[in-house]
Structure 1
Amino acid sequence: MSEFNKDDYLNDLPDADELAGQGAPAADAAKPADSQPVDQPAAPKPEEGPADAGNGDQQDADEGTLTPLGKAKKEAADYLEALQRERAEFINYRNRAKKEQDRFRQHGIIDVLTALLPALDDIDRIREHSEMDDSFKAVAAKIDKAFEKFGVEKFGEKGEDFDPTKHDAILHKPDPNAEKETVDTVVEAGYRIGDRVIRAARVVVASPQA
């Protein structure tokens, strides 16, 4: 039996670096496959609602926090606003109705006046060319007052300046003494209501000679 040689035994042992190199692959192989880093899915973002949804919730929250007295005041303010709006609409309607009523009333007066114009012209001719008895004068005066009551104005006088907007010239008569056109004779008087001419006065015009 050969003798144990310590130096030979130590020389046959592997180095520590060789042992470390052989152990590293084994350690890597021992790692589980699921130890690799995996990308985690991103957390879903909360959905954003419409902008006015937050305002509505805020308004509901504000109304919910009102005290009974505050709610009563708010209802009173809403009722007052609605009442004022209805009142304004009623005033506008009343004004329109009044204008329509005045317009229909004026049309009625014009229709009556137009129908009575021939009789009024006859009364004027009688006044101008003959004497009227007292009873006839009283009737004529009542007719004049009735038309004055409804705003009817009679116009057309001899000697006034000729105005084509209210005079209807049926004849132009040269006058050597005339410096401008004036009314020489009123054949039929004119009538108007306010600024509206119902019938222009029919006149003979005295015109300056050329």
Structure 2
Amino acid sequence: MIAPAAPGPSAAPPAEPQAPPAAPQAPPAGPQTPPAGPAGALAERTADLQRLKAEYDNYRGRVHRDRLAVREAAVANVLRRFLPVFDALAEAARQGELTGGFERVALALDGEAAALGLRAFGAVGDPFDPRVHQAVAYRRSRLVERPVCTEIVRPGYRVGDHLLRPADVTVTGPAQG
């Protein structure tokens, strides 16, 4: 054990005055520790409730989006089954055989299908897109620079983002060389 030096003439005087002690540093940023006692318990419970509310709001949003997606898929599946009926009605109209009461039924059916989101697509002059067009014939021409639909054999249909059927088209592309 080291004995303290005795004060006296032989003791060395201090070299420099000591700097005042440094101020305590702030704790690092991060999760705050709530104060102790009832105020701390209240703050902790409030944070828990806010977290639960945010989780519940996210859950409700996911459920809403999922319900819309399921509804759209169900509507698409039902309307897909009616595509041959729409084709037959369109052909009858082109032949002039859709008159009187049958014409009114066809118009009502088209209106209801449109209200459910059914959209026909495929028009002469559309750029050919293999994601939504099915080429049933291909021709070459010096008059076009890129492939275009020049005849719609059978229209395509979609509901929202769901492709029910691609359009069957004749494509005309640029001539070689």
Alignment partner, residue 163 of structure 1: 129
Q: How many pairs align? A: 143
Alignment partner, residue 124 of structure 1: 90
Q: Which residue of the other structure, out of 166, 170, 175, is the alignment partner of 1:200? A: 166
Alignment partner, residue 145 of structure 1: 111
SS at match of 1:161: coil
Q: Which residue of the other structure, out of 62, 87, 92, is the alignment partner of 1:96? A: 62
How does 1:60-71 map onto structure 2 within 5 Å?
Answer: 63=36, 71=38
What amino acid is aligned across from residue 148 of structure 1 in structure 2?
A: A
* Pairwise CA distance, 1:84: 1.0
* Change in CA separation of 1:209 and 1:194 when aligned onto 2, cut-off 3 Å: same
Alignment partner, residue 78 of structure 2: 112
* Pairwise CA distance, 1:180: 4.0
Q: Which residue of the other structure, out of 123, 140, 147, is the alignment partner of 1:181? A: 147
Contact 2:76 2:162 in 1 (8 A): no
* Pairwise CA distance, 1:94: 0.9
Q: Deviations over 1:137-178 (max 9, x none)?
A: 322222222232232221011232222221101112345655
* In structure 2, distance between residues paired with 1:139 and 1:206: 37
Q: Unaligned 5+ residue runs, structure 1?
A: 1-58
Relative contact order: is structure 1 or structure 2 higher (C-alpha 8 Å, sep ≥ 6)? 2
* Pairwise CA distance, 1:74: 3.7
Alignment partner, residue 36 of structure 1: none
Specify which structure has the higher proportion of helix.
Answer: 1
* Pairwise CA distance, 1:118: 0.9
* In structure 2, distance between residues paired with 1:129 and 1:205: 25
* Pairwise CA distance, 1:83: 1.6
* In structure 2, distance between residues paired with 1:179 and 1:147: 37
SS at match of 2:76: helix
Query: If the length of structure 1 is used for normalisation, what is the TM-score?
Result: 0.58
* In structure 2, distance between residues paired with 1:168 and 1:91: 43
Pairwise CA RMSD: 2.6
* Change in CA separation of 1:181 and 1:129 when aligned onto 2, cut-off 3 Å: farther
Moved more, 169-178 or 110-119: 169-178
Q: Unaligned 5+ residue runs, structure 2?
A: 1-32
Query: Is the aligned partner of 1:82 residue 2:43?
Result: no
Contact 2:73 2:162 in 1 (8 A): no
Alignment partner, residue 191 of structure 1: 157
* Pairwise CA distance, 1:87: 0.7
